[in-house]
Structures are given as C-alpha cells and as structure tokens.
Chain A
Amino acid sequence: MTALLLKGGRVVDPAGAGDGAFDVLIADGAIARVGRDLPVDGAEVLEIARDWIVAPGFIDIHVHLREPGQEYKETVASGTASAVAGGFTAVACMPNTEPVNDHAGITQFILKKAAEARRARVYPIGAVSIGSQGERLAELGEQKTAGCVAFSDDGRPVATALLMRRALEYAGMLRVPVIDHCEDPSLKGDGVAHEGYHASALGLPGIPSVAESLMVERDISLAELTSAHVHIAHMSARQSLRAVRAGKDRGVRVTCEVAPHHFTLTDDALDGPVKYDTNLKMNPPLREAADRDAMIEGIGDGSVDAIATDHAPHHADEKMLEFDRAPFGIVGLETAVPLVFDRLVHTGRITLARMVELLSVNPARIIGVPGGSLAEGQPADLTILAPDLPVTVRAAALASKSRNTPFDAWQLRGGVAATVVGGRIVYQNPDAR
C-alpha cells in the first residue's frame, strides 16, 4: 500500500502530538509520522482544509448492531457504514442480539461480518450472564480470547448484587471492565418516560431517576470492594453523576458515558407539537433540565469520561405504535459529532482537545484497545472534522438501516469531513468538499 500524507489540517491530539498545524504520514495502516510540513516523497496526498481538524479516530463504545437476529433493523455492515459516516473508526457492540452474544461462536461471527464489511473496527461486548438472564455467568474467559473487550447484560441491569460482584471479580481478573445498564427493575416497573410533570400530564408511567442512581451506587460499592473497573452505561441522572464523582474521589475504578440526547434534550420535548412521538422514547429516558445541565457540567469538568451514542436502531413499523408499546431507543451514530460541536464546542462548554478525549482517548482506554492518539505506530484510524460545516440532519438519508431519530431536520454547525480506518479512507462527506 502506498503511503498516505494528510496535508494542511489542524491536528488535535491531546494524548500525542498536541494541537497544531501538523501533517500526518500514514504507512502500512499505521501512523508513521506527525510533524510540520512533511515531505511528500511519493506518498498519496490528501489535502486537508486549514480549519479542518485531524483527530485520532473516534470510538463509540455503546452501539447496537443488531446482528445476529435482527437484521431488519441493522446489520454489522449497515451499522459500520453508519459509524464511519458519523466519524467513528471503531464501535463496541452490545450483546443483546438474537441469540445474545454469550458465546465465543457469536463473537467470532460478529468479527467475521465486520471484516467482510471493511468499514469501522468492531469490538464485541460479551454478555455477563448466559442469555443475559442474570442466572449463570457466561464464559467470560473464552469470550475475551475470542475478542470481547468488555462484558455487559445491556438492555438489562446485571441482575443481582452477587452476580455483579462475581462478574467484577472475574472480569477484573481478565482485566476487562463490566459495563452496567444501571436500573432497578422494581423501581422502573412499567415506566416509559421520566417520572415528572410531563409523564404525569401525558398519562405515561414514570421511571424515577433513583431507579438509575440506586444501581449506580450499588455498582460503585461493588467496584470498590473488588478493586475492579465498572463502567456506567448511558448515564442520565444528576444523582448518578454525584455518585460517580464521590466514587472517583475515593479512588474507585469507575468510569461513565453520556449519550448526546442526554446532553441535548429534556422531557420538555414530550410537550412538543407531535405528542407521543416514539422517537423521544428511550431508556434511560429524557430527564429534566437540571439533569441535562448536570451532564453538560460533568462532560466539561472531567467527571464524565466518554460520549457514547447507545445507537439503537428500530424499524419504522416498530416505532409506529402506541408510546407504551413502542421499543425504547434511537439511532445516534450519525448525529453525535454535529451535536457535540453545536451544543458543547461552539457554546464554549468544552475545548476541541476535550472533545477528542471524550470521543477517542477515553473510549480507547476504557475498553483497552489501540487508538486514542496519533503517536507513531498507532493504527492509522483518524477522524477528520469540519467544525463550521452546516449540517441539516436528514433521517431519510442516514446510512443506518433505521430512521428513528428525534433530530430530523435539526440544523447544526460542525460535522465529519472524512473517516480513515487502517490508513484507508472509508468515508468522505460529499457536503464537506
């Protein structure tokens, strides 16, 4: 393969070269050199606009690829196409497929599909328990050998404190985190929206914030006991963030992620012109302004480690149901970067360096995979961003198979120009040239 030289952009690489007008030379799928005015020397040149950002590839550590079993919603191929269109060079996929990924054979299947698709890297997350039923530990050791980077029963919480303890001890031995979907089932009940005024006014059963924070507190205590790493998935409530901060202060190995809809939307959105819009139904639900503001604050002050989309594709037929019957979830891979730019960077809440930490450096560290920096020898996974690109979200034009987004027709500033994986340009935005 010829060398590839990215010339002219602004590198933002907080864990490596720093911030500056650097060129990036890529050879044999890896970063060869980062420096000013590198000689071309026969390399293929990719001209980067001066105001575009060249960053280490973004990694979304919470994605549902739906394959095996639910290919009508998404496949590894369509999901990774959506990922690279969203600027992500890698995704970690959750195990709530059909069958659940609780066995090395399924992990191998997913990796095979990812290799065939040749777009984003895929890091499978294996189930903690068989079928994610919460009764018996899955073969975590075999799963790690097969390629799993973390374990989760996502879709559900890890069922009991004892199972969570054992999972943390066992996964800790394997040096792999447990990712928990924090939710007390008895408090969640049949809830479908955040317990508060809007759910009450609409006659929707509520999910109180404490359903999440209580489980976060449980998991932090268990991580403290076991000295293992727990990662809190899709955090949404300010009480959860408070618990995470307290845990970190005590030295507990807890990390957390927030999804873009939880730093953008609140349950006020339920009172919009389209009532009972199922594109506003996800779990955890959209919460109050104070929660959204707390998430933004945590993203800014370092208490939140990563932004992860919880990309949850659902077929249009499934979302065209009564609110309480529709499945939870929205897609997110292709709207994350514009929302981070528009709502966090351009509003001055975070710097570009912090954006790269949240989307690349920390995710790579949390799941223990290469990437997160453009240091020599690192895989040539890069996300090239156009920070002032006007972006109009079009649900009908998403690369994902599914269209379930609440952001359709939103006009945002900042988007993806191109995505490079292993030195190959896997996505170029036609609107960014």
Chain B
Amino acid sequence: MTARTMERTDHTGAPAASRLRSRHLLGIAGLEADEITLILDTAEAMKEIGTRPIKKVPTLRGRTVVNLFFEPSTRTRTSFEIAEKRLSADTLSIATATSSVTKGETLVDTVRNLEAMAPDMIVTRHPSSGAPHLLSRVCRSAIINAGDGTHEHPTQALLDAFTIRQHKGRLAGLKVAIVGDLLHSRVLRSNALLLTTMGAEVWGCGPATLMPAGIDRLGLHPTTSVDEAVEGADVVMLLRIQHERMHGHFFPSVREYFALFGMTSERLRRASGNVIIMHPGPMNRGVEIDSDVADGPYSVILEQVSNGVAVRMAVLYLLAGRDEMAEEGPP
C-alpha cells in the first residue's frame, strides 16, 4: 500500500487544514479532524526522512527545544529527542532527578527559570493531569504534552492513528477495541477522542472497577466482555496493567486479569481477518497480552515505535512553523 492511496481527507470529506490553530499541543481535545489529518499527512513526509542514509533536515535549525520530563520515560523521551535532532533543533533533556523540583521548587518556577533561556518549545511529561495547561498559561514557549497524569498523551494517539491508517487506508468506519485499565489511561482518553473525531467506532473494555465514570459520554462503547469488544474488530489495542492497582482492589491478581482480559490467539479469532494488534508499551507479557500475540503476524507494536519519531517530527515541525504555514506547504 503506497502513500498515494492514503485517504487525504477526514471522514467528512473535508481537506486537511493548512496549519494548526493552537500554538500548543496540549491534547487531542483541542484538535479538529482537519488538523489531525494535517499532522498525519505531514508525518508521512517525515517518515521518508527516516529512510535516508543521512536522517536530517535543517527545518528546525537554530530552534531550541527542551524536553522537560517529570516522569521516567525511555521510549517517549528518546523518540522526541531523535525527532528533534532529525529536524536539526538544539535539544536539551531534563529529567526530574537532576532538576530543582527535588529542592521543592514549584512547577511554575521551574519552567519560568527555563524560559529565561528562551526555548522555542517545551515538550513535557508530568504525573499531574493538567500540568501542561498550567504551563501554557505562564509560559511564552509553545508547550507539547508528552503525557500528563491520566489525562492525555496526544502524540501517542497520533502515532497510533498513523499506524492504523498505514494498514487500513482510513480511520472512519473501523471498529477499534481498546482493552485494559481504562480508568488510569491517558492513552485511552487521547485515542478515544481522536478515533471518534475521525469517525471510528471505539469500544472500551476492561474490569468494571477500571471503567471511568461517564465512559459512554467519552464516546466509547463500554463492555466488560473481551469477546464482545474483539468481535469483528479491525484494531485491537491493549493497555498496560500496573501491578500496583491490585492494592486499590481493582482486580485480585495478574493471573485472574490474564484469564478474563488477556489477549490470546484464541480470543483474537473473533476479530476481523486482518486485525492489527497495538500496544503503547511497555508491555507486560502474560498480563494484558500473550507473547504469541505480541510477537505474532498481526502485531504492529514495533511499527508504532518507529512511527512515533515521524509523528513527533510532524508535530514539532507544524508547531514551530505555524506562522509560516500560510505561505508554504509541508517540505
């Protein structure tokens, strides 16, 4: 399947936006369908850069991007760093342990001190929902949310959508089943918002104890039955189960979780013939997903990771160049 056969419009048939409307990416909640399409289309061009021997373009040369991570992360942080470097930006990564947060400095003061050095963009991951929103009110830099508490992880949802689109040619009309700890998952919220905006039918499945209140208002079809969720699904996305949740009486053991909700090859038989299996990572093998499935022919988990760089390059590019967007198109 080539790039040219990709659907270039959203499910309403409208063309991609010419630029992003907000100077920040705080969540999928602020994005409309045409902007999502713009990001995905731009990511395709960025993906091509990753196939060259010299994986670098000068687009963000002279721009400073700070990765301010208050939560440990290998995958997302390195993905952003690689994306930034491929665009020739000057990048700096700060992890909490070495920052002044441990000295009791507030989030606002930490960022204001950074801002004094005039970064163009700050990519931030924080354990509190809404931290990027607070920053956007006190900062001049553009803020990119790399995951805030249990709220959103917009670049994850974008790279998931990119991956789905690569395989299925579209997002509209697909049945997507998301299985796992829905209550605590920012990946769920971002994916639910994005996929429903783009016209997909999204099912949320997990134990009743891990269902968020008002889940149907979030646009999801809720079910505690994996079989019902997986029936005819085009995409099955597994979410990580944290072992600590057992202490909150959410489920009794990982053994029982796997027995009731774990994705196995048998369970997958109910899905559509060319179902794709996704996981934002890191995986707990034998808990939410069986190794057969994780490593099997339907799994696109590693593609998600490589697509992550392209999608993040697209986001950085589109936010950094917003003011010039009106005149030019993508590179």
Contacts and interface: CB of A to CB of B under 8 A. Distances in A.
A276 B129 CA distance: 8
Contacts of B134: 276, 320-323
A28 interface: no
A325 B29 CA distance: 23
A201 B214 CA distance: 8
Contact of B128 (A206, A317, A325): A325
A195 B133 contact: no
A58 to B, nearest CB: 36
B5 to A, nearest CB: 35
A324 B213 contact: no
Contacts of A324: 128-130, 149
Contacts of A203: 129-130, 148-152, 186, 189
Contacts of A160: none
A410 interface: no
Nearest to A194: B213
Nearest to A317: B106
Contacts of B213: 195-197, 199-200, 206
Interface string A175-216: 000000000000001000001111111111110000000000
The 9 closest A-B pairs by CB, nearest first: A197-B214, A203-B151, A276-B130, A322-B128, A203-B129, A200-B212, A203-B150, A197-B217, A275-B133
Interface residues of B, number: 27
Interface of A: 189, 195-206, 274-276, 317, 320-325
Nearest to B193: A201
Contact of A323 (B129, B152, B217): B129
A321 B138 CA distance: 11
A321 B248 CA distance: 26
A199 B137 CA distance: 21
Contacts of B248: 189
Given A276-B134, A321-B107, A201 B149 contact: no
B77 interface: no
Contacts of A322: 107, 126, 128-131, 134
Given A197-B213, A201-B214, 9 more contacts: A189-B248, A198-B214, A201-B29, A203-B130, A203-B149, A204-B149, A276-B130, A322-B107, A322-B129
B23 to A, nearest CB: 16
Contacts of B217: 197, 201
B215 to A, nearest CB: 7
Contact of A200 (B106, B128, B138, B218): B218
A197 B130 contact: no
B108 interface: yes
Nearest to B130: A276
A189 B183 CA distance: 14
A323 B130 contact: yes
A206 B212 CA distance: 9
Contacts of B129: 202-204, 276, 322-324
A189 B209 CA distance: 14
Nearest to A206: B213
7 contacts: A196-B214, A201-B189, A202-B151, A204-B129, A204-B149, A323-B128, A324-B149
Contacts of B107: 321-322
Nearest to B70: A322
Contacts of B128: 322-325
B68 to A, nearest CB: 14
Nearest to B216: A197
A184 to B, nearest CB: 14
B301 to A, nearest CB: 24
Interface in B89-133: 106-108, 126, 128-131, 133
Contact of A202 (B130, B137, B215): B130
Contacts of B133: 275-276
Contacts of B148: 203
A203 B183 CA distance: 8
Q: Which of A201, A203, A205, A317 has the most CB of B within 10 A?
A: A203
Contacts of A201: 29, 189, 214, 217-218
Given A201-B214, A276-B133, A320 B151 contact: no
A325 B213 CA distance: 22
B147 to A, nearest CB: 10
Contact of A320 (B29, B108, B212): B108
B317 to A, nearest CB: 26
A324 B128 CA distance: 6
A403 to B, nearest CB: 16
Interface in B192-226: 212-215, 217-218
A386 B213 CA distance: 43
A277 B135 CA distance: 12
Contacts of A195: 213
Contacts of A276: 129-130, 133-134
Nearest to A321: B106
A200 B210 CA distance: 11
Contacts of A200: 212-215, 218
A188 to B, nearest CB: 13
A185 B263 CA distance: 35
Q: Which of B131, B138, B186, B248 has the most CB of A within 10 A?
A: B131
A155 B137 CA distance: 30
Nearest to A189: B248
Contacts of B152: 203
Interface in B162-189: 186, 189
B75 to A, nearest CB: 20
A43 B57 CA distance: 88
Contacts of A321: 106-108, 134
A29 B152 CA distance: 60
A275 B130 contact: yes
Nearest to A271: B29
B110 to A, nearest CB: 12
A164 B30 CA distance: 48
A68 to B, nearest CB: 24
Contacts of B137: 274
Interface in B260-290: none
A201 B150 CA distance: 9
A317 B109 CA distance: 10
Interface string B214-242: 11011000000000000000000000000
A274 B151 CA distance: 16
A116 B138 CA distance: 40
A320 B106 contact: yes
A343 B129 CA distance: 32
Nearest to A190: B248
Nearest to A322: B128
A270 to B, nearest CB: 10
A201 B164 CA distance: 24
